[in-house]
Amino acid sequence: MPKLADDLRRWTESSRKRIDSVVMTPWEEQVGRVLHTGDGVATVSGLPEARLDELLVFESGARGMVVGLGETDIGCMMLSDPKGIVAGETVRGTTEVARVPVGDELLGRVVDPIGMPLDGGEVPACRDFAPIENPAPAIYDRALIERPLATGVLVVDAMIPIGRGQRELIIGDRGTGKTALAVDTIINQRSSDVICVYAAVGQKASSVARVIESVRHSGAPERCIFVVGEADALPGLQWLTPYAACTMAEHFTARGRDVLLVIDDLSKHAAVYREVSLLLRRPPGREAFPGDIFYIHSRLLERAARLSPERGGGSLTALPIAETQAGNISAFIPTNLISITDGQIYLDPTLFNEDQKPAVDVGRSVSRVGGKTQAPALKALAGSLKLEYAQFLELEVFTRFGTMVDERTRKKIEHGRRIRAVLAQNQFSPLSLGEQTALLAALSGRQLDDVPLDRIAEFRAALPRWLAEHAPEIADLDDRAPPITDEKLGQLRQVLAELADTFAAPDPEATE
């Protein structure tokens, strides 16, 4: 017992000395409280030093992000399950803005907006994190867009070309092939060095699964990142999806890589933001959207650019998708996005129902940048294509009423029908630059005028092997090759005429 008492006394004295050596200083902690919560948002009082995009931690362990600062309260979007949060619960600020993981570890993965895996794999072991909100590159940090981004879709590459660093809107009614066109563009990058980031905002799980499976089957999934905010995810996660995807893409752009960002789609993103704003009791504006609806998309899409050589020379090309109702491209969100982007590809439901796929309305579609970056070999042959096709569509209207036409007009109409047949293209079958050049050469040289319309598809299918055997220099063209000389163009048309003769209809007079 005496020994135990001595040990206890020594331990007490040692503890006192340690306590006395500690320097005690006052510290301040700001604590807020939940006013009310529900439907994926929360309103918090207190925390006067909180800032936009700051992460908040609730007493229950849930996390949220500040999206609105009032005089006495804070609007917060929940980023984790809000179950269990009640009014009066304490909330603490972290002084940290929302960040997402970035790096090569994300390539080939399917993740949610905060970087958690959705493909059943391990959590990506990313060492770097970046804020979801980054300022757009300044004017002096940008360079001219000089190189095309090949989509592999002839109607786009020939008449509505897209440059690396451009923002091109894909717009149309529901079910007209908007996502299919974007997926074909991603698949076509299997033959390039472009990294692809696909952001799904509010899409059904089955739709996202089809996109991922298509890329894995036909594209280069090892150079793709899929960022998914599904339709049943919290509104905060859906709203975060395009910004998180853009941050992941910018990581590679800053290191001199060319990146393609597809956002599917911004109409649902705008609807999610409207939902959050109304739940936070912000005053509604036109179509019940909040007043800053234009800004949330402009600050996102302005981050797409081609950087100057001093900044690494990388590029970020954005292909946002927007949905229209009954072809109304003058609605609020579509007009906002059209004014932000550098052009639009409009998909017409009438063309889609007539089985003209991709259903691109050439008259309503435009690229304000890509024409200057179009591959020289293609640009030389596509110059008059859009005008010829527009004239054909105008002439064809009269023939539908049974109007008699002269021989010259009839030939123009037949030639236009072959242009339309060549522009039709199946999904998951992108064309190389050489194949596109050969098809345009055959159209401009009238080599296809004697081929029946129902055999144009057979001609296209036989073209790759025919070029490899008879014109390998055309089959191997890339976007930096110079324009084709008149001599080589003549030789190419002769080769194409030989192939077309095998599909041409027999001359009825010769058979007699």
Model pLDDT for residues 342-360, shown as the tens digit of each residue: 999 999 999 999 889 999 9
Residue type, 261: L
Domain positions in the chain are 31-97, 101-373, 380-507
CATH class of the region 31-97: mainly beta
Average pLDDT over residues 479-485: 86
Torsion over CA: 259, 265, 269, 270 (sign): positive
Which architecture, in CATH terms, is 101-373?
Answer: 3-Layer(aba) Sandwich (3.40)
Q: Which residues carry out catalysis?
A: 368
DSSP string, 261-281: EEEE-HHHHHHHHHHHHHHTT
Give Cα separations from 427 to 144, 183, 225, 353, 431 (angstroms): 32, 9, 21, 16, 11
Rounded to 5 degrees, φ, ψ at 128 are -110, 145
Contact between 492 and 435 (Cβ < 8 Å): no
Contact between 491 and 471 (Cβ < 8 Å): yes
Average pLDDT over residues 124-139: 92
Average pLDDT over residues 19-45: 82
Percent of the chain with pLDDT over 70: 96
Average pLDDT over residues 271-282: 92
Residue 42 has pLDDT above 60, yes or no: yes
**Among 168, 169, 163, which residue's Cα sits nearest to residue 142?**
163
Structure tokens at 71: 């005089």
Give the contacts of 329 (CB within 8 A, at least 6 positions apart).
171, 335, 338, 346, 364
pLDDT for the residue 403: 63
H or E element in which residue 128 lies: strand 128-131
Residue range 167-184, pLDDT digits in tens: 999 999 999 999 999 999
Give the contacts of 118 (CB within 8 A, at least 6 positions apart).
110, 111, 112, 228
Residue type, 414: E
Which architecture, in CATH terms, is 380-507?
Answer: Up-down Bundle (1.20)
Structure tokens at 274: 């409207």
Residue 116 has a CB neighbour count (10 Å cut-off) of 11
Report CA Rg, the chain. Answer: 29
Q: Over the chain, what is the mean pLDDT?
A: 89
Give Cα separations from 344 to 122, 169, 367, 428, 485 (angstroms): 39, 4, 7, 22, 32
Spatial distance between the Cα atoms of 244 and 456, rounded to a whole number of angstroms: 44
